[in-house]
Amino acid sequence: MAVTTYVEAIRQGIWEEMEKDERVFVIGEDVGIYGGAFKVTAGMLERFGEWRIIDTPISESGIVGAAIGAALMGMRPVAEMQFADFISCAFDQITNFAAKCRYRWGAGIPIVVRGPSGGGVHGGPFHSQNPEMYFVHTPGLKVVCPATAYDAKGLIKAAIRDPDPVIYFEHKFLYRRVKEELPTDDFVVPIGKAAIRRKGADITIVTYGAMVYTALDAAKELEKEGIDLEIIDLRSLLPFDKEAVLDSVRKTNKVILLHEDTQIGGFAGELAAIISEEAFEYLDGPIRRITAPNTPVPYSPPLEEFFLPKVSDVIRVARELYAY
């Protein structure tokens, strides 16, 4: 098995699906000659040609609109947003057309809309956002947020094979920092299944994306104090693995909900409601949230460092909850 980075895993997943299925094609800004802003599509133009690797003008609404039309004609488009922040320009096509076609007249729209999200790279308020919740609130879509190279490859392949629209948020901070050995045979990661990244007995942390590593780093420090964290990586937000969350909470009796997105309207609020409704009797303390504050992402590096949830935040809240 070869050591593969997170970004290379995405590239391999798309490449392999294009080799298997000639209906799969890539469309987006600079995906062809330039190979994508982060090189996810590097080399694909030379291998698959300009009919399957399509450079477009700067028009996210046009990219997604064309992808939806192609999907209705039987194709399997992978639409790249150069930065996930600009997916908002295609919001109407995604939420009012792609998401609703199956409900309106039985037509599935098998498209993948993927792009780099998240902060930690000093990209400022237009290149660092976490826009997942706009789409989690839209029935008819699936939303995935892989944290590992294995999941990045397995989920992009699952997304391409899915009969309905999938929004695939890849965290740019992980692109070349995260790597692991991947199997050489074909595999997918099922959409909607969480993973236990660390087993523990005292407190459950439910998280996803780059925050998985923040939680794991905090767990190493807290282990020295005898505080044993269990870490659930959701991997998919819509649908999400409710039973994995509830089973862990029922075991540890205390829970911290951690995400990089801002707090109001964030996924932690939804999780807190479900845990309160279905596992309240098991709780031995308040449900705690650790999120970014309710501001745009700062451009200033020191302010961005303050803005993003950190290991020290997890350690502080875990100590408080453990002592409750």
- Active-site residue, 127 included: yes
Are residues 258 and 314 in contact, defined by beta-carbon separation less than 8 angstroms? Answer: yes
Spot the catalytic one: 122, 127, 137, 259. Answer: 127
Give the phi and the psi of residue 247 in degrees, each rounded to 5: -60, -40
Q: 278-281: which pairs have CB atoms within 8 A and are 24 or more residues apart? A: 278/242, 278/246, 279/246, 279/249, 279/250
> 17 vs 54, 146, 156, 306, CA distance in Å?
16, 18, 9, 40
Beta strands in 22-178 (DSSP E): 24-28, 53-55, 76-80, 112-117, 142-144, 166-171
Do 40 and 180 meet the contact criterion of CB atoms below 8 Å apart? no
Query: Which two three-digit tokens encode residue 94?
Result: 């995604």
Can you read off the two tokens belonging to residue 309?
Answer: 């949830």
What contacts 214, CB < 8 A, 6 or more positions away?
A: 207, 258, 309, 310, 311, 314
153 touches 159 (CB < 8 A): no
Q: If 0-12 CB within 10 Å is exposed, 13-18 middle and 19+ buried, where does residue 136 land? A: buried
Q: Give CA angle at 271 (223, 134), nearest 5°.
A: 120
Give the whole-angstrom CA distance, residue 76 versus residue 73: 9
Residue 30 neighbours by CB under 8 Å, 6+ apart: 36, 37, 55, 82
Length of the chain equals: 324
Residues involved in catalysis? 127
